[in-house]
Amino acid sequence: MSESNPSAPDHRTVLLRGGEVHSPADPFATAMVVERGHVAWVGSEGAADAFAQGVDEVRDLQGALVTPAFTDAHVHTTSTGLALTGLDLSGAQSLREALDRVREYAAQRPGDRVLLGHGWDAARWPERRAPYRTELDEATGGRPLYLTRIDVHSAVATTALLDLVPGVRDLPGFEADAPLTKDAHHAVRRAAHEAITPAQRTEAQRAALRRAASLGIGSVHECAGPEISSAEDLTGLLALAAEEIGPRVVGYWAEALESAADADRIRDLGALGAAGDLFVDGALGSHTACLHEPYADAAHTGTAFLDEAAVAAHVLACTEAGIQAGFHAIGDAAVSTVVAGLRAAADKVGLARVRAGRHRVEHAEMLTPDTVAAFAELGLTASVQPAFDALWGGEDGMYAERLGVERARTLNPFAALLRSGVPLAFGSDSPVTPLDPWGTVRAAAFHRTPEHRVSVRAAFTAHTRGGWRAVGRDDAGTLVPGAPADYAIWQAQELIVQAPDDRVARWSTDPRSGTPGLPDLSPGAELPVCLETVVGGRTVFVRPNE
């Protein structure tokens, strides 16, 4: 089973009316009928009268907006839940504040075998450095502690945790008083996660899925893998999502395959494909993304984990087995490696078969016109995170610090991808950036580099229908008859048609445009508030009365 379903669809028939229904079937729709977990009809208020007597429930929307539920196409569910329920350093404004939070958290959790935290970002601190191990040893009273950097590609740990990993000081990526990277980081992460009890893990997963539902997210793509989590983590999450009402969970397992027979392991885990965070390189913040030219602030080009031959072998194995392949690639050299590997696979089995696989690339931040064109040629889906630009873009941001301003301006070229016909699926990479779907749409529409901006409508589509298409479903993610009834109800301001470029009309409220409106997402404008989330016709979240 590749996708975990909540419960059986609700068999009641419900008429929603008196609102604004965002549907390509009718740009002026104010009503919708849901039957047996699917959209049965979308239309006008007057036509809704014909359905009012034959349904089990009539719901007055009182002017609220109804949209397809969002799909977050890249999530680490357990880590997200641990950040929600554990030590979150993403808001720490300085090294001193971070250490104070560690000290306070350690005092609050005397029974934890390993203390877990996430989100530190030394690039945003006045001290401009990560915590030293001696500082963490003092703050925790000598207890095991594992703290991931915001990009999750490096971490700091206490001496007590390192002592639980024999030989870690001899592994690549270990330096005496620097963040752990590469194999050393993977080994310490494995030890830290193995200390989490099944009850802690379930608590974290449940917290993450509840947060997603509260934000109008109806589906998440869990990007698991042997270097990120564990097989038990993935199967536990899929079982939880199947047993409890909540967002749908589609699982990916990032294990490199060498033959089609290896795909049985992927299917046995319940994963849709051998994709997600199958690392071709690391991350820019940790200086581990693989570049063609050296970093602006480091005399090297990062780290390569897979070469062209390994990429080609993986794509061939997945294509022969009929499952999705996918890779994590951020730096321009890593993206080039993916493209070269896909082309080598296409030379052996034919371009049509590779395109039919709908293989994915996660992040794809550093693209060139040639690699954008190659994505289109090879039928690749770009699973991207617009919040990365909001967090790290701009002339004073981390991207510019790592790459220089000129190279940084080329990152995350969403408009170029769309113009070339490359399918986009939006996600958060939570807990790297928070679950925040409307904020994600805003980040794409108001990209820090104007030429990379896309319309609000295009960004919204990438965060709804785009996520479904990325898992091979073209019949979902939009409110039209026959589609799954995965939708959210929002409290929103006036609906407009918004474009990202001053050279065209920025918005229109003229009904003659025939384009369904969406909330104004201009920077500073209030984002919509989720009132209710429905998955397969079943309500998975209702906003409490305030």
Residue-range definition of the domain harbouring residue 44: 13-68+480-492+528-542
Transcribe 300-323 into DSSP letters.
Answer: S-------HHHHHHHHHHHHHHT-
Q: Is the pLDDT of residue 159 over 90?
A: yes
Averaged pLDDT, 9-22:
89
Coil, strand or helix: which one is 15? strand
Residue 242 burial by CB count (10 A; 0-12/13-18/19+): exposed, middle or buried? middle
The last residue of a domain, from among 179, 195, 211: 195
Same domain? 47 vs 127: no
Under 8 Å between Cβ of 468 and 474: yes
- Residue 276 is predicted with a pLDDT of 96
Q: How confident is the model at residue 507, as a pLDDT?
A: 39
pLDDT tens-digit series, residues 299-353: 999 999 999 999 999 999 999 999 999 999 999 999 999 999 999 999 999 999 9
84 with 168, same domain?
yes
CB 204 within 8 A of CB 85: yes
Closest by Cα among 335, 325, 346, 408 to 369:
335
Q: Among 83-87, 207-211, 487-491, whose mean pLDDT is lowest?
A: 83-87
Mean pLDDT value across residues 30-56? 93
Please give the pLDDT value at position 9: 56
E strand segments, 163-291: 217-224, 248-253, 273-274
Domain membership of residue 299 (yes or no) is no
In a domain, residue 443? The reply is no
Least confident of 8-12, 74-78, 250-254, 421-425: 8-12
Contact 440, 430 (CB under 8 A): no
Domain count for the chain, please give it.
Answer: 2
Residue 412 lies in a domain: no
Query: Which residues on adjacent β-strands are paired with residue 519?
Result: 495
- Does residue 201 form part of some domain? no
pLDDT digits (tens, 9 = 90+) for 179-193: 998 889 989 988 988
The answer to whether residue 270 sits within a structural domain is no
Condensed to tens digits (0 to 9), the pLDDT of residues 79-115 reads 999 888 889 898 899 999 999 999 999 999 898 889 9
- The reported pTM is 0.89
In a domain, 236, yes or no: no
Residues 70 and 248: beta-carbon distance below 8 Å: no
Residues paired with residue 39 on neighbouring β-strands, in sequence order: 34
Q: Does 55 share its domain with 125?
A: no
Are residues 174 and 140 part of one domain?
Answer: yes
Residues 143 and 120 in one domain: yes
> Residue 154: is its pLDDT beyond 90?
no
Residues 191 and 88 in one domain: yes
Instruction: Tell whether the model's pLDDT for residue 511 goes beyond 50.
Output: no
Domain CATH for 150: 3.10.310.70
Please give the average per-residue pLDDT across 217-231, as a whole number.
94
Q: Are residues 94 and 176 in the same domain?
A: yes
Tell me: do 92 and 186 sit in the same domain: yes
Asked if 342 contacts 315 with a C-beta cutoff of 8 angstroms, the reply is yes
Domain boundary among 195, 222, 257: 195
3-state helix, strand, coil in the chain (%, to 5): 35, 20, 45
The amino acid at 457: R
CATH number of the domain bearing residue 35: 2.30.40.10
Contact, 49 vs 177, CB < 8 A? Answer: no
**DSSP character string of 217-241:** EEEEEEEE-TTTS-HHHHHHHHHHH
Tell me, yes or no, whether 187 and 83 share the same domain: yes
pLDDT greater than 90 at residue 410: yes
Beta strand residue intervals within 237-281, DSSP E: 248-253, 273-274
What pLDDT is recorded for position 514? 62
The full 3-state SS of 367-425, as one line of letters, equals CCHHHHHHHHHHCCEEEECCHHHHHHCCCCCHHHHHHCHHHHCCCCCHHHHHHCCCCEE
Q: Is residue 135 part of a domain?
A: yes
Q: Do 93 and 174 share a domain, yes or no?
A: yes
CA distances from 247 to 250, 283, 431, 486, 499 (A): 10, 29, 17, 9, 30
Asked whether residue 281 is domain-assigned, the answer is no
Q: In terms of domains, do 88 and 172 share one?
A: yes
| Mean pLDDT over the full length of the chain | 93
Single residue among 166, 195, 224 that ends a domain in this structure: 195
Residue 157 has pLDDT above 90, yes or no: yes
Question: What is the per-residue pLDDT for 546?
Answer: 56
46 with 83, same domain: the answer is no
